[in-house]
A = this chain, B = another copy of it.
Amino acid sequence: MSVTAARGFTAAGVAAGIKHNGGRDLALVVNDGPRRAAAGVFTSNRVRAAPVRWSRRALADGVIRAVVLNSGGANACTGPRGLQDACDTAERAAGRLGLAASDVAVCSTGLIGVPLPMDRVLAGVDDAVTRLSASGGQDAAIAVMTTDTVPKTAAVTRDSPRTGSGAGWTVGGMAKGAGMLAPGLATMLVVLTTDADVGAEALDRALRAATRVTFDRIDSDGCMSTNDTVLLLASGASGLTPEYEAFADAVRTVCEDLGRQLVRDAEGAGKEIRVEVVGAASEDDAVEVGRSVARNNLLKCAVHGEDPNWGRVLSAIGTTSAAFEPDRLRVAVNGVWVCENGSVGEDRSLVDMTGREVGITVDLAEGAESAVIWTNDLTADYVHENSEYSS
């Protein structure tokens, strides 16, 4: 599992003293090759953290050999000093590993607007280099956690159609993300690795195709981060080059798995809500409606209270520009069509919302397109957690 499931990668996660609680807070992932192709997607927030600006530049040539990640501080809104700190971090790792700093990506997560304690970060990089291991993926996944309650890792291994060999090729990865979780693109830190021999262009294509329908369709709290980064590194260590479709499918599977884990562990969440929009005239319409429903605080409170309040769904649909006629809308909650033709449908007392997963289906009755957006309920625990985060 995690970033060391694929061959050709080593990783470490250490306690550098960046977090006040003494936990692991600095991770290092190194691609030992023979290939070093890489792709990445980053937050579309116009306020970008220093590590995002650094890593975008490092990735421009399609080569990343190592990634340094820290929790305990986002290094966002930290001015020129923040960019210097990201650069110094990459240079320290590059120096210890015998690489060029321009081949080292940097990711940070934590509180915005607080400079990193660089003496600890740099000492942590030194420590992590000495602890690199082909079984270090779990430690790395732990070291990127902030308000996450569990580390998040995933991996799939596929046989090679050419060899039929059991060795095959693997896509694995780790993720963190608990609050400020609404993609635009991808609101979290994710590092994916593969030992498939895939060039930077195909990596980029597969990664964008995967994130578009996975991380981009999570909307836990409507708040877009300044630090979102998803990296995909390929070592080529399997010696296998899969068909593009098979590879893209594996990347999407891992992204979907990690994305579901992010929703399951979102701050204060008691339920996962699967908003499925069907009958849409276009996929864009389906995503717009799904996102509007997923962001509706009143509906999210209703789900928390196990109340199939479909009126709040309709009021959210009504704020979108999607094609629909109000008197043809249908809404089901956990399979019961409580709203038919924009009005009262089946008996709402038939709905059982006691389970942890709640499905809301919206039928726009306009076409054949659909989309699924994942979100959470809104709870008092979310309020408590986010009232006390920085103080």
Contact = CB atoms under 8 A, between A and B. Distances in A.
Nearest to A326: B47
A205 interface: no
Interface string A367-391: 0000000000011101111111111
Contact of A46 (B297, B304, B305, B318): B318
Most chain B CB within a 10 A radius of its CB, from A46, A115, A339: A46
A296 B223 contact: yes
A389 B297 CA distance: 13
B342 A77 contact: yes
A312 interface: yes
A45 interface: yes
A77 B311 contact: yes
A335 to B, nearest CB: 18
Contact of A298 (B301, B384, B386): B386
A342 to B, nearest CB: 6
A329 B46 CA distance: 12
A339 B302 contact: no
Interface stretch (A84-92, A106-114, A239-247): A106-114
Question: For the complex, would chain A's binding face be called helix, strand, loop or mixed by DSSP majority?
Answer: loop
Contacts of A343: 77-79, 81-82, 113
Contact of A79 (B74, B342, B390): B342
Contacts of A104: none
Copies of this subunit? 2
Contacts of A327: 79
Interface string A279-312: 0000000000000000111100110111101111
A281 to B, nearest CB: 15
A321 to B, nearest CB: 9
Contact of A221 (B297, B319, B388): B297
Interface in A3-54: 45-48
Contact of A384 (B76, B113, B342, B380): B380
In the A-B complex, list the 5 residue pairs whose CB atoms are closest, starting with the nearest: A112-B311, A305-B387, A47-B318, A79-B343, A301-B386
17 contacts: A46-B324, A47-B342, A76-B315, A77-B326, A77-B344, A79-B342, A112-B312, A113-B310, A180-B298, A222-B295, A223-B296, A223-B312, A226-B314, A297-B297, A305-B387, A305-B388, A306-B391
Interface of A: 45-48, 74, 76-79, 81-82, 111-115, 179-180, 184, 221-226, 295-298, 301-302, 304-307, 309-312, 314-320, 324, 326-327, 329, 339, 341-344, 378-380, 382-391
